[in-house]
């Protein structure tokens, strides 16, 4: 089974802090994704990566950056956290042979 | 370009009655279509997928969906709802190729009454 893990289930940070959300997969998938999920808005793509050191902006990249130094790890960075970044953050990988995504359990981030 | 519309933000049923969650899509390619389920405070789990084989797709937990190209629909059904089916359901469309970027619907919250 594919396993996607996220470093924290719950996180509380203060406005202006730099925040790192880590995602690790164990299935050697090239594509990885970061989404945020808000009630009534579904999942919105922040960034995705299709290879090591390669990244593409999604629909809502403002205020975020990403890092992919190793194939199994994809990090989301909030350079200066703001209250409107309070949300659920979901990481996913994709098996290109089946077009199927696999999701981590999510990190619920609260910015005070 | 591709898009997906889930026609209902909430669906409420009684336990033991049928479930219908509606999804319409548009895609410039031959699409792959998925339904994912998310239980409270959990990540998303794949329910079923259509990838140009049989148009009637069976998934886990008794769910199934039918791909109708003429109606650009991929509705999710279950003959008899259980309390454990209460969750958020997402319809997803994707194209094919190396730059796979799926598009999510906004989700349908399924409420199951005893």
Distance in angstroms (rounded) separating the CA atoms of residues B4 and B104:
7
| Cβ neighbours of B34 in A, within 8 Å | 99-101
Sequence-separated (6 or more) residues with CB below 8 Å from residue A14: A81, A111, A112
A73 Cα to chain B: minimum distance (Å):
18
| Cβ neighbours of A108 in B, within 8 Å | 41
Residue A40's pLDDT is 83
Residue B29's pLDDT is 73
Count Cβ neighbours within 10 Å for each residue of A3-18 and write b for 16 or more, e otherwise: ebebeeeebebeeeee
Confidence check: pLDDT of A57 > 80? yes
Where residue A36 falls among pLDDT bands split at 50, 70, 90? very high
The answer to whether B51 and A99 are in contact (CB under 8 A) is yes
Residue B98's pLDDT is 44
Where residue B96 falls among pLDDT bands split at 50, 70, 90? low
Confidence check: pLDDT of B64 > 70? yes
Yes or no, beta carbons of B102 and A90 under 8 Å apart = no
Question: Which residue did the predictor score with more confidence, B31 or A109?
Answer: A109
Q: Does B43 touch chain A (CB under 8 A)?
A: yes
State what percent of residues in chain A have pLDDT above 70.
98
Reported as a single tens digit per residue, the pLDDT across A13-27 is 999 999 999 999 999
Residue B30's pLDDT is 76
State what percent of residues in chain B have pLDDT above 70.
95
Q: Where are the beta strands (DSSP E) in chain A?
A: 4-6, 10-13, 19-25, 31-38, 42-51, 54-57, 64-70, 73-78, 87-95, 100-103, 107-111
């Amino acid at each position: 089974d594919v396993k996607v893990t996220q470093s924290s289930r719950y996180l509380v940070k203060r406005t202006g802090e730099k925040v790192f959300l880590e995602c690790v997969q164990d299935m050697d998938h090239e594509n990885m994704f970061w989404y945020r999920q808000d009630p009534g808005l579904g999942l919105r793509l922040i960034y995705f990566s299709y290879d090591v050191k390669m990244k593409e902006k999604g629909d809502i990249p403002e205020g975020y950056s990403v890092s992919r130094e190793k194939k199994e790890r994809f990090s989301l960075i909030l350079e200066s956290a703001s209250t409107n970044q309070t949300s659920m953050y979901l990481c996913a990988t994709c098996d290109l042979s089946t077009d199927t995504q696999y999701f981590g359990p999510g990190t619920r981030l609260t910015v005070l | 370009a591709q898009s997906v519309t889930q026609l209902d933000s909430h669906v409420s049923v009684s336990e033991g009655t049928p479930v219908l969650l509606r999804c319409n899509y548009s895609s410039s390619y031959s699409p792959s279509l998925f339904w994912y389920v998310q239980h409270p405070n959990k990540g998303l789990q794949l329910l079923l997928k259509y990838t140009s084989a049989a148009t009637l797709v069976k998934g886990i937990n008794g769910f199934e969906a039918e791909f109708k190209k003429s109606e650009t629909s991929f509705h999710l059904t279950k003959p008899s709802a259980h309390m454990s089916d209460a969750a958020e359901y997402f319809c997803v469309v994707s194209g094919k190729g190396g730059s796979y970027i799926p598009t999510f619907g906004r989700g349908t919250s399924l409420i199951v009454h005893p």
